[in-house]
Amino acid sequence: MQEQKIALVTGASKGIGAAIARELAGDGFRLWLNYRSDHRAATLLAEEIRGSGGDCTLLPFDVADVAAVATALEPLLEHQVPLVLVNNAGFARDGILALMSQGDWEDVLAVHLNGFFNVTRLVVARMLKKRRGRIINIVSTSGETGMAGQVNYSAAKAGLIGATRSLAAEVGRRNILVNAVSPGFIATEMTADLPQEQILPMIPLGRIGEPEEVSGLVSFLCSERASYITGQVFAVNGGAHI
């Protein structure tokens, strides 16, 4: 009997993460679904996945908390190794740098960069032994172009882009592929309150993207069709950054 593939998706209770979880479940992956605090949304998503014939294990922990990450993942990793890791956990806390608090700077970098390190370090060590794996980091147009009022968020996402390329160079010989997907304005809680009249003129396609337009690309990068692609950044932004 063929071993079922596992995908670990962080920050997956809603938005882009939830869309990725649904997509990969539809592709036949067993889901390890991480979230920090929205237990209700995570539970509803897990029930939806199971109701469609999938398998979903909920893993509530803060990716920025190195001890919590180890406590949640190490017992599972002793017996099973995900084929796919999607580092999606993240949030924005916007404000101009001159008025930004130390906490707003550190918290955003902690989730995006420390969270990437804490989770990926544990998983990739096991992937190296298996000599296979796919790591997808969800970054942002803000990390490619810079965005006023998002110095912390832009710095974090730009750091993830650099980490993606460096890790791809480190682990490629062990058949582990590492790529980044860079969404622009996508219809999630993060963009719900943004002024459409200011945003739409910035997007050549003239609309906000849907989470499924991001998850479809992630699905492709996790498939055998993407077996010669690593170290790349793929934009899903409607042409907002070309």
Please give the Cα distance from 228 to 212 (Å, whole number).
24
Q: What average pLDDT does the chain have? A: 96
**What crossing angle do the helices spanning 102-109 and 151-171 adopt, rounded to 10°?**
30
Q: Is the pLDDT of residue 1 over 70?
A: no
Given CATH 3.40.309.10, say whether it is the number of domain 6-234: no
Beta bridge pairs of residue 236: 183
| pLDDT tens for each residue of 73-100 | 999 999 999 999 999 999 999 999 999 9
pTM of the model: 0.96
Q: Enter the tokens of residue 188.
A: 């999630």
Is residue 153 flagged as an active site residue?
A: yes
User: 220, 223, 214: which is closest to 181 by C-alpha?
Assistant: 214
Q: Domain map of the chain by residue range?
A: 6-234
User: 133, 155, 132: which is closest to 145 by C-alpha?
Assistant: 155
pLDDT class of 4 with cuts at 50, 70, 90: confident
| pLDDT tens for each residue of 25-42 | 999 999 999 999 999 999
| pLDDT tens for each residue of 139-194 | 999 999 988 999 999 999 999 999 999 999 999 999 999 999 999 999 988 787 77
Catalytic residue selected from 85, 153, 208, 236 = 153
